[in-house]
Amino acid sequence: MEYFVWMTTRKIRAGALDDFEHVWQPDPYPEGLTRAYAYWSEDGQEIIGVSFWDSKESCDAWRGSEAEERRRQAMAPYVLESQEAFYRGRELGIPGRKA
């Protein structure tokens, strides 16, 4: 099965994690988003967001939406650095483990 994934890595200001999390949640939630995960570094200054989409077109539509632009503006005061990219991929089989 092929997956469509948008990944974002952000470095945020020290001590800003709680405030950042408050504005990070999309509103409304994007159409076509099927799953989303967030991972934080131990010091709370780097966050990796991984979102799964039903298609590249759904992801692109969200990325170009006014709601996403508002969300990015709300996050901007907390973000020091950001990298993002779209990927296609699949789950890797692990020997001895049932899928």
Confidence band of 98 (pLDDT split at 50, 70, 90): confident
pLDDT at 99: 62
CB-CB contact of 54 with 4 (8 Å)? yes
Side chain identity at residue 53, one-letter code = W
Q: What CATH architecture is 2-89? A: 2-Layer Sandwich (3.30)
**Lookup: tokens for 50:** 């991984």
**Lookup: tokens for 16:** 């800003």
pLDDT at 93: 86
3-state secondary structure of 86: strand
Name the burial class of residue 6, with classes exposed (0-12), middle (13-18) and buried (19+) by CB atoms within 10 angstroms of its CB.
buried
pLDDT in tens, 43-72: 999 999 999 999 999 999 999 999 999 999
H helices within 1-97, ranges in order? 17-24, 56-63, 66-75
H helices within 1-99, ranges in order? 17-24, 56-63, 66-75
pLDDT in tens, 65-95: 999 999 999 999 999 999 999 999 998 888 8
